[in-house]
């Protein structure tokens, strides 16, 4: 029997990249999925965010496994959107067994801590940290009522170590790791587990599907088509992380195979953070 049969999993940032990989992997393991993404761009983010068509493409891939897929557009910066997303999930499925917080941005970045603007700082924390808190805040009551649940926050190796010229991103991801640990303690009495995943450099999918690594490279002054090679040089396993690698870990964390895992920050980084 598949590990997520009869489960409902809500995934943010599901239009592409890690979020899409997590959604499809959960569906392949038997889960029904609720898929949330912004479905449009943010003026201050210098690259395209997930589109509605990409979100529907994720849903189609999930349905190919026989899963039910609910498509939801919303911005994790909006408490109203987060509340509506959870409510529609509960209305459709009657429960939410797991939440995977994958929505996030990598830019605006590339400035020293004293050179970034307050709006750049605020945006990064609002999406990458407060967005995850908003979703946990909304879904926790249903999980508490069920005395069951698992939350996976997609952080980064930037939640474990620092990177020059990425102060806001590093602060947000360190905060997300801390949020995961604190929430794990708060929710443990209700049999709800909370963990963070810390991916290393994740390979971009097709140019139209996601370009976070390319944008990080641009912020670091590593332009050109060979930017992947620069990241590979820092990887002990001599390869980039694939979205599927992160999704496999996420599926395990929301399954019964990890019932004693909570409050952890699990690297999926090919040994990068071991250096």
Return d(Cα 150, Cα 98) in angstroms, integer.
5
- Answer whether residue 40 shows pLDDT above 70: yes
> The domain containing residue 251 runs over which residues?
8-267
Q: Is residue 274 part of a domain?
A: no
Cis peptide before 244 (omega within 30 of 0): no
Q: Does any domain span residue 13?
A: yes
Q: CA dist 189 to 127, 134, 138, Å?
A: 28, 21, 18
In a domain, 275, yes or no: no
Tell me the C-alpha distance between 165 and 185, whole Å: 32
Quickly state the pLDDT bin for 46 (edges 50, 70, 90): confident
Are 33 and 68 within 8 A, CB to CB?
yes
169 noted as active-site residue: yes
Between 43 and 33, the more confident residue is 33
How sure is the predictor about 216, in pLDDT bands with cuts at 50, 70 and 90? low
Catalytic residue among 47, 93, 163, 169: 169
Residue with tokens 């939640």: 159
Instruction: Give the model's pLDDT for residue 274.
Output: 83
The number of folded domains in the chain is 1
Q: How confident is the model at residue 239 (pLDDT cuts 50, 70, 90)?
A: confident
Domain assignment of residue 139, yes or no: yes
Give 222-231 pLDDT, tens digit per residue. Answer: 555 555 555 5
Q: Has residue 136 been placed in a domain? A: yes
Taking a C-beta distance cutoff of 8 angstroms, is the pair 190, 228 a contact? Answer: no
1 belongs to a structural domain = no
Per DSSP, the three-state class of 43 is coil
Collapsed DSSP state (helix, strand, coil) of residue 271: coil
Structure tokens at 243: 């979205």
261 falls within a domain: yes
- pTM, 2 dp: 0.92
Question: Tell me, what CATH number does 47's domain have?
Answer: 3.40.50.720
Q: Evaluate whether residue 101 is within a structural domain.
A: yes
């Amino acid at each position: 029997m598949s590990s997520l049969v009869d489960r409902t999993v809500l995934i943010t940032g599901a239009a592409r990249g890690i979020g899409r990989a997590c959604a499809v992997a959960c569906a392949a393991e038997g889960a029904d999925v609720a898929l949330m993404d912004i479905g449009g761009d943010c003026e201050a983010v210098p690259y395209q965010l997930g589109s509605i068509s990409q979100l529907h493409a994720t849903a189609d891939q999930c349905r190919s496994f026989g899963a039910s897929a609910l498509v939801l557009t919303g911005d994790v910066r909006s408490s109203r959107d987060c509340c509506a997303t959870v409510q529609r999930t509960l209305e459709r499925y009657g429960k939410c067994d797991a939440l995977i917080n994958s929505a996030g941005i990598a830019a605006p970045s590339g400035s020293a801590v004293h050179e970034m603007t307050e709006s750049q700082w605020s945006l990064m924390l609002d999406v990458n940290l407060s967005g995850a808190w908003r979703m946990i805040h909304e879904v926790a009551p249903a999980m508490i009522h069920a005395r069951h649940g698992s939350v996976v926050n997609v952080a980064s190796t930037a939640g474990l170590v620092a990177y020059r010229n990425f102060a806001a991103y590093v602060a947000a991801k360190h905060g997300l790791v801390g949020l995961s640990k604190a929430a794990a303690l708060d929710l443990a009495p209700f049999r709800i587990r909370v963990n963070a995943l810390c991916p290393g450099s994740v390979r971009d999918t097709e140019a139209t599907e996601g370009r976070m690594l390319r944008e990080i490279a641009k912020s670091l002054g590593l332009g050109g088509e060979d930017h992947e090679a620069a990241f590979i040089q820092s990887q002990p396993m001599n390869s980039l992380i694939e979205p599927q690698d992160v999704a496999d870990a996420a599926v395990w964390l929301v399954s019964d195979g990890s019932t004693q895992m909570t409050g952890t920050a699990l690297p999926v980084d090919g040994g990068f953070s071991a250096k």
